Each structure stands twice: as structure tokens, then as C-alpha cells.
Structure 1
Amino acid sequence: MTLQVIGLCRFSYPAIGGFQVDHDTIEERIAYLYSESRLEERFRLFEAVALPSLHAQTDSDFELIIVIGDQLPAHHVKRLEALISDIPQACIHAEPPRPQREVMKQILNAARRDFSQPCLQFRLDDDDAVAVDFVERLRKAAADCAVLTAQHKSVAFDWTKGYIAEYSADGIAATEIFRPFDVAALGMWVKGDCHLTIMNFAHNKINRFMPAVSFDEPRMFVRGHNESNDSRQKAVKGVQVTPLSFEDAKRFHKRFAIDIDHVQQIFKGS
């Protein structure tokens, strides 16, 4: 039986908890997340960055669950449906506001086709990209570590090098980073009949709770740097990015399926 691979992406889901930015009420959180200017940026990033990298996966045998709030305005739901119409692996799952970890764990476990069998899981933010061979390499890593997975309930697989990037009508500016156990390019093997999920753990602490295998090559992720990053709503250390050269842009496209012309077109007028 082929090992099932399940990805999870939260698209402005108004969870109770799970944000670095605090809100006094769920109504305030919904108003913040669903503001037209913020959603416009998220849609542009999702279309230009995350979805192309998923559409181009060399191993297309995976599932992607996009979690939205059940109060997301209908015109935004339709826009999201249109964006994923050519990605058969993707589906939209709407939920009312609920505690972050509880709801995500339930969604992932419900997505397992055969709970008695092991599976692989990953999570992806809507402004991030993974390399086009991420699913292929994640599956191979699990196969290569069969002796290890046979001894544990869960094992993490992490690719530590990638990029931070900013996107605009001018194109793409980026810098290489080393960032172990970040959200993007982090996967987890889960044994059969085990209720653990990748959402049980803070991504940067996952190696405290299970064996973790890290890979230094190749560059496997692009983390988005934008105005509506949750982490950037508070004081954080800045990251210097520089515009991609023509050759860098070609390598970016080959590795992550992010096209600079597409980025410029989407962000015109922003």
C-alpha cells in the first residue's frame, strides 16, 4: 500500500489560540483576518507562491487540506475554489472558530484513509513554498529510515536550508537562510493506529518529542516575508533581502515553480 501523504494549510482560519497577535474577542480576530486589504495580500501570495510549488510536485500522490473559517465571505470562498480548480489534490474544509490544535488534529486524523496504516504529514503556510520535489523526498526519507520508523510512534523529517523572500510588482527579493524545524519543508511520519499529528507540536519544538532526521541539502523551502505575517505584527529582527538576478530567478523557478513574471503581474497595482 502506498504511504498516504497529507498536507494541511490554514487560510486565514480564525482559530482560538495559535496566533502570536492577541485579540480580545473572536470577533476582533475575524475582523483582522478578513479585512479586505489583508485577504488581498494573502490571495496574491497563495496564487503566486504556495500553489505553484504544490502544482509542480514531482510526486503528485498527496492530499492538501485548506482550512478556512465557516464565516469567510462567499466571494472569497469562490475565489479560493477557482485558484485550486487545477490542483486535484487540494480540497477546502470550513470550520467554525475552535481551539487551534484541537481542530487541526481532528481534521488530519479524519483525512487518513486507513487509520491502521502509517502516513506522512506536512503543514504549509499560505505564503510559503516548498521545492517541487518535496513530497518525493519526504516519501523517500521515510523509506530510507524504515528501521527508525519501525521503532517509534512518530519521526520528524526536516530540510534546514531555504530562502526568505518578499514579493512585489518589482519581482522577488530573497536571501538564503538556515532555519531548522521551521513550518515549511518539515514533515512527520506517524505509525498506524496513532492519533499524533504534525499539529500536536509547535514546529520549532517537534524534535523534543520524537526522533528527527535533518537534511542540509538541497534548498527545500521559501518562507514569505510580508506585511501580514503573524510573527511580524510584533517587533522581530529584520532580514535583509536583495532582488533576484536573472539567473537566480531562473533557478528559483526551476526549484520552487515561482515565476517572477507571474509575481509581477499579480502584484501590479498593490
Structure 2
Amino acid sequence: MYFIGQTRFSLYIPGSNAWNVSNFTEEEYIAHLFSDERMAIRAKIFSEISVPMLAKMKGEFDYNHIVSYSSIMPEKWKKTLFDLQKKYPFIYLHEVDKNKVNPIYQILKNKPNGCIAFFRLDDDDLLSINFLNSLSKYNNLAFRNMAVSFGKGFTGYYKENHFIDFRECKQRFIAIGQAYIGTYTDGKVELPAMHSHHNLDENYPVIVDSREFMYIHTHHAQQDTNYRFSNDSNNKTNTIEADLMKYPKVKSSGILSENFPYLIKDVNDFLNNKKSVYNINNFILPNKYSTFEIKNDIEEIVFDCEYELHTEKSISSSKAFVLSIFPEDSSSNIQGMTRSNNPDIGWYKYISVSAGLSKGEFSFSLDRPMKIKKLKITIWDNRIKEAEIKSINLSN
């Protein structure tokens, strides 16, 4: 069996819908595409983290990775690719506009017949070192003309030359590592045609395997999706953090370190640098409303809240409690929470109870770094006469 990956390394594709450049000239587009600010992050992630992990992932598999680039790319970035290819011979460089021959044919030339698993990987995303081992289960004739999507992975926030935040996520049909199963027979390659990952299952049968963590979807200020062509660095950061807070934070290093060993230091730094903002432990709620003043100078954008509450009676309720958060700027918007018209409730989350126990976590983000002034618990379900906060931990 053969495995072939492809990374389009800041590839210049005239007229591509992948770029939202309708309000910019071709010159502005090219200048942005190859700007030092944008390229430096990609070159560092790809050459220092991604490719070394791809090399470890390769193991004994027959695996080559195509790196496609444009002839107009500045020479210093070409040199980065040339140096990588010398160090890692499984890298196959393809100058797209100068070499029109399909690189897959060049890679497989004179090799025996066999099945092919072809996948793509962006230059700033990462695959687990166990990716090929998992994909090998589907790289056979039984899955020919089908696609494979690994739905479980992590999101990571890359800032100032290292990852500072890791979250667990599930995204069916995510583009990272999405694979197509085909064949190489008597010198002929047969692979399913590429389709958008959003509606892939409308074109082919798709195997969705979300049992293991297979990727890291990288977020950074120079991304081409949600943050392109913005000069407001604070807005970029706020947008990234607001997006990340949709997912739960990683709480232990085990699975991350096992799948992405080159990130062990970043993972440990992230886990060890978590700051406590406010804690409540073993507090009996004396009445319907309980307010807790928070007196510290911690200013942040994204906060995490873990909670555990018990009720005396073993009841179940989807709206047992209301947990309210009050930032120092009352006009601030909070993503991840709902705003009540009642100023005594403010920004809130409903807390459910099942058989007298409520336990969970959520994240929320503010418009800008600021302090949280108070936290409030309201007993919302009138059936609850006695309740206890076992713990509420507000951190960032």
C-alpha cells in the first residue's frame, strides 16, 4: 500500500475561491500571500514541527509527501523547502506552474501495483504520529473510491513562536488529513476526484473515525480564513480566543504528548500556567440569590468555569440554577453566555441538575481584557429548597 500526502505551501492560485480577495488587486493579493509576516509563521510550524512529526509518522510505511509551491515564491522560502527535502527525502517538491506532470505518477513510477491513500495537510496544521497507522486500516480494495475523515483532534493557539493553548474538538469532515482511497494499477492512478470537505458525503461514501486524536487545527493571527487582511492585531487575537473557547481545554498532557511528541514543552507550559481567578468550595446556598464579590487584578479575555452543585432532593431539572457573570464593564459583550434583560441576572448560563447533581464546565470570552467583578448563583427551580456549591472554579 502507498500513502501520499500533499501540502500546498502558500500556493499562488489565480482565481481561486479559497481566498477572499475580491476587494484587492492581484498585486495586493500576491504581496500578502508572500509577506514575511504571513510566511514566517508557516515556515516555522511546517519545517520545525510538522515535517519532523511526519517523518516520525512515516515509520516503515511507503509514504511520500508532496509540497506544492509557486515559482514566484521568494527565494528565501524556496530555500527553506529545498533544505527540508535534503533532510527528509520522503518530501517531494513540486513547482506547480513549471512542472505540469502529476507528481503522484513520478512518485509511483515503476512501483508494483497497490492501493493508495491520498490526503492533504495545510502548512500550519499538524497530524498525529499515529495517523498513517490509523489510515492503513482503510487503505485496501474494500474501501476503494471512498473517503476517510478522522473527526477527533485538538485546536491549538500558536502565538510568539509556540503553542499557548490546546483544546479538544470533534469536527466531522474536517479538511485536515481527509483521505481518498484509490489504486495504482499498471502505471495508472485512479483516485476519487477532490471535493469540498463540507459536503464530501454528498459525493462519496465516507468513513468517519473519531476514536483517536488525529490532528491539531492551528489558530494564529496570520490565518487565511477568519483573520485575513485585517490590520487590527487586537481584533485578530480576540477572534481567535472567542473561537477557541467553544471547545473544552485539555486537562492532561498524556494523549497530546503521545500523539504530538514535539509539543511536549508547549503542552506542559500550558497546563502549568493556568491562573486561578476565583474559587468557591463547600458553600451552602442560604437563599434564592447568592452573590460573590471577586477582588483581584486579573484581566483576561477568555475565562473557564468549572462547577459542581448538589441539591438536597434527588431532582432533575434543565434549569435548576442560573450562574451569572458580571465584568467590570457592564456594557461588554460576553461570547458563550446569554444576556438577560434583568440587570440583576446580567450575563448568565443555565445550570442543569440530574438526580441532584450538577457538574460541568464552560468557557466565555469578553470584548477585551478586563476583570470579573462578581459571580452570582440564583436558584431557578422552585422545587430546590436546599443546595450546596461543592466547588466553582473560575480560571483562565
Contact 1:48 1:263 in 2 (8 A): no
51-60 or 32-41, which deviates more: 51-60
1:255 is matched with 259
Match status 1:168 vs 2:159: yes
Match status 1:10 vs 2:8: yes
Contact 1:172 1:260 in 2 (8 A): no
Deviations 1:64-91 (A, max 9, x none): 0111110111122112222343322102
Alignment partners' CA distance in 1, 2:11 and 2:32: 11
Residue segments in structure 2 that go unaligned for 5+ positions in a row: 229-238, 269-396
1:40-119 aligned at under 5 Å gives the runs: 40-57=40-57, 58-96=59-97, 106-108=102-104, 111-113=107-109, 118-119=115-116
Contact 1:171 1:260 in 2 (8 A): no
User: Cα offset for 1:262?
Assistant: 7.5
1:197-216 aligned at under 5 Å gives the runs: 197=192, 200-216=194-210
Give the strand-richer structure, 1 or 2.
2
User: Cα offset for 1:253?
Assistant: 2.9
Contact 1:121 1:197 in 2 (8 A): no
2:147 is matched with 156
**TM-score normalised over the length of structure 2:** 0.55
Residue segments in structure 1 that go unaligned for 5+ positions in a row: 98-102, 265-270
**TM-score normalised over the length of structure 1:** 0.78
1:114-263 aligned at under 5 Å gives the runs: 118-143=115-140, 146-149=141-144, 154-169=145-160, 171-192=163-184, 193=188, 195-197=190-192, 200-233=194-227, 238-240=243-245, 247-248=252-253, 251-261=255-265
Alignment partners' CA distance in 1, 2:225 and 2:32: 14
Contact 1:166 1:224 in 2 (8 A): yes
Alignment partners' CA distance in 1, 2:33 and 2:105: 26
Deviations 1:125-177 (A, max 9, x none): 0111111121122122223xx4343xxxx111111100110123464311111
Contact 1:8 1:124 in 2 (8 A): yes
Instruction: Say which one has the larger Rg.
Output: 2
Task: Using the aligned pairs only, state the percent identity.
Answer: 21
Give the helix-richer structure, 1 or 2.
1
- Distance 1:196-1:251 versus aligned 2 partners, 3 A rule: closer
- Distance 1:185-1:95 versus aligned 2 partners, 3 A rule: closer
Contact 1:6 1:120 in 2 (8 A): yes
Secondary structure in 2 aligned to 1:230? coil
Alignment partners' CA distance in 1, 2:192 and 2:74: 29
Alignment partners' CA distance in 1, 2:76 and 2:256: 32
CA root-mean-square deviation = 3.1
